[in-house]
């Protein structure tokens, strides 16, 4: 049709049925890598098999680990036939790029304008060729834009030529390819990295990491590591199956061999190495990226898995996205109605709803400054936002460091009402009153959160039918041990586990008899049902305490969601 055009992002040909969604999807926690089926219970495509389909959605969202899931789907023959986006997208594009660059398995990625995207979404099937997309009488020309002008420094060119070894050359090729795709004019130095690809999302993560480690890859900047999928020192004693525990531990070991610091935490902003305002860093892990940009004022794109390592190996990142001042502006203002006397459950709900209302652009959240959110409140907000939005940061009016003047001149506005909050709360509490597991620490718990949980339990013992587990980084656990907080939690029957992440916790560490979970994490309330197959309910730390002590979590809205509280 006249005026329609598709832009080829990654070359390739494909055909298959069209599977289209108006809502973005996170492949990590949203797609089962073993089957290609959508497991995100909150997504419109839930239950749909994506294998062999022309998958269309505005962009991706959520976890940076989606690139690893897509790579595994490609290598296992379970991937979509092609990806078609309406907006710029990095996470899945990077997974497809790695498949083509390192494994010779191309998967076409295209971007369409809004009208062409809408027209193709209505088709039953499509065929993608080098010159056009053909679908049900529709023909959309495919353009192949010339690569942008990317200026590489002499050191970049030397790295490409192998001066720093074969692994660094491979990493620089991948960084360069992403920079060209993003339209970056040049690369910039970063002062540190954070690796998300050490989570065992699929065998492809291990294949990539060991291939790079076997090429004697070594990071060039200080680089921390995300939570992994097992308690590294204790998984055998915990009864984790060797078929999962061994490759998960090998994956972590491969990154340590490459010089990464074995921090094993999804909250690197709690470490003594946390970046300062204005520093250019290269972090992956969605919650950490949003927190670093929004709360710390550091600068990092939402780097996909695999690109995080490539940047750490080269010390160079594409100068694009929120590394640039103009791209840190808010394109949408979200006016939240502030209830009276909110508790800690309010903040993950705000983050979750902000992401749903601003899935593809940076928002300015207005109306909440009077509630004076703590650092842990902002941690919960950022984690939930990173689950439902593709944006790498947000602003909270009167709270976050870059919020003043953050709204772009053409920013639109959306009002978030009490009724909206109640509907989202009910959606995240679709589960039974009786619970068998309380999950704290997604992202990893801070020392203040550990103290607050110990204080709330006040020496009382957990209910016999309930497991209560806190996940935290080693630095936090060591501090909790030194001050006696760890002993107080353990005296109440709470397990405090290092290294692993709720979004990849294996059985039987995740108790097998669990039917329903209570959590204070908006992130895990979203991902948990699809990943664990259990009902997961969201609540405050007080709600989690009640569930720990009684085995029950009354199904009711919090006091601040009652109409009289507004």
Helices (runs of H) and strands (runs of E) counted in the chain = 17, 22
Element (H, E) at 526: helix 522-532
The position carrying tokens 């459950």 is 345
CA-based nearest residue to 72, from 199, 225, 234, 167: 199
State how far the Cα of 74 lies from the Cα of 76, in Å rounded to an integer.
5
> Which of 26, 20, 56, 31 lies closest to 388, judged by CA?
26
Q: Where are the alpha helices (DSSP H) in 241-324?
A: 242-257, 286-291, 307-314
Q: Using CA atoms, how far apart are residues 22 and 551, in angstroms rounded to an integer? A: 39
275: which DSSP letter?
P
**Cβ pair 504, 200 in contact under 8 A:** yes
Among 59, 102, 14, which Cα is nearest to 309's? 102
SS3 330: strand
Distances from the Cα of 178 to the Cα of 89, 95, 224, 318, 437, angstroms: 11, 11, 22, 7, 42
- Whether 63 sits among the annotated catalytic residues: the reply is yes
DSSP string, 159-204: HHTTTT-HHHHHHHHHHHHHHHHHT-SBEEE-S-EEE-TTS-SSHH
Tokens representing 500 are 């692993």
Q: Please identify which of the residues 26, 63, 121, 535 carries the catalytic annotation.
A: 63
**How far apart, in whole angstroms, are the C-alpha atoms of residue 33 and residue 18?**
20
End-to-end CA distance of the chain: 51
Concatenated DSSP letters of 134-150: EETTEEEEEE-PPPP--
Residues 260 and 262: their CA atoms lie apart, in Å, by 6
Active site residues: 63
């Amino acid at each position: 049709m006249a005026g329609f055009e598709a832009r080829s992002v990654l070359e390739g040909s494909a055909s298959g049925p069209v599977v289209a969604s108006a809502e973005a999807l996170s492949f990590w926690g949203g797609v089962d890598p073993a089957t290609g089926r959508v497991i995100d219970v909150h997504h419109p495509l839930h239950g749909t098999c994506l294998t062999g389909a022309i998958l269309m959605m505005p962009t991706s969202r959520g976890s940076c680990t989606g690139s690893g899931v897509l790579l595994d789907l490609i290598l296992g023959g379970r991937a979509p036939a092609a990806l078609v986006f309406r907006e710029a997208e990095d996470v899945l594009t990077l997974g497809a790029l790695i498949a083509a660059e390192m494994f010779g398995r191309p998967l076409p990625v295209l971007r369409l304008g809004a009208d062409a995207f809408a027209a193709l979404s209505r088709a039953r099937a499509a065929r993608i060729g080098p010159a056009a997309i053909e679908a049900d009488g529709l023909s959309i020309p495919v353009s192949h834009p010339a690569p942008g002008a990317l200026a590489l420094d002499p050191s970049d060119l030397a790295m490409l030529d192998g001066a720093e070894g074969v692994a660094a050359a491979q990493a620089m090729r991948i960084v360069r390819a992403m920079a060209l795709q993003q339209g970056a004019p040049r690369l910039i130095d970063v002062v540190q990295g954070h690796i998300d690809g050490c989570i065992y999302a699929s065998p492809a993560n291990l294949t990539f990491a060991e291939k790079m480690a076997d090429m004697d890859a070594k990071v060039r900047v200080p680089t921390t590591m995300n939570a992994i999928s097992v308690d590294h020192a204790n998984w055998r004693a915990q009864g984790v199956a060797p078929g999962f525990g061994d490759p998960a531990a090998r994956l972590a070991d491969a990154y340590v061999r490459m010089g990464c610091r074995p921090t094993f935490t999804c909250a690197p902003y709690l470490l003594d190495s946390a970046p300062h305002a204005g520093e250019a860093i290269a972090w992956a892990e969605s919650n950490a990226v949003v927190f670093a940009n929004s709360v710390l004022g550091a600068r990092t794109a939402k780097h996909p898995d695999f690109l995080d390592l490539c940047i750490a190996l080269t010390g160079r990142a594409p100068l694009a996205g929120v590394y640039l001042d103009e791209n840190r502006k808010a394109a949408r203002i979200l006016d939240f109605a502030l209830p009276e006397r909110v508790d800690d459950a309010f903040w993950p709900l705000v983050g979750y709803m902000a992401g749903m209302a601003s899935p593809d652009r940076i928002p300015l959240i207005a109306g909440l400054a009077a509630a004076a959110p703590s650092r842990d409140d902002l941690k919960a907000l950022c984690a939930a936002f990173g689950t439902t939005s593709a944006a790498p940061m947000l602003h909270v009016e009167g709270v976050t460091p870059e919020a003043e003047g953050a709204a772009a001149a053409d920013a639109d506005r959306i009002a978030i009402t009490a009724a909206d909050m109640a509907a989202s709360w009910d959606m995240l509490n679709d589960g039974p009153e009786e619970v068998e597991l309380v999950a704290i620490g997604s992202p990893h718990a801070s020392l203040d959160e550990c103290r607050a949980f110990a204080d709330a339990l006040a020496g009382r013992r957990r209910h016999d039918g309930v497991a209560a587990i806190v996940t935290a980084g080693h630095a936090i656990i060591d501090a909790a041990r030194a001050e006696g907080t760890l002993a107080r939690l353990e005296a109440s029957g709470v397990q405090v586990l290092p290294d692993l992440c709720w979004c990849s916790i294996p059985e039987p560490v995740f108790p097998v008899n669990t039917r329903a979970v209570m959590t204070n994490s908006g992130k895990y309330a979203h991902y948990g049902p699809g990943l664990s197959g259990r009902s997961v309910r969201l609540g405050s730390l007080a709600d989690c305490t009640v569930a720990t002590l009684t085995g029950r979590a009354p199904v009711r809205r919090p006091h601040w969601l009652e109409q009289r509280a507004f």
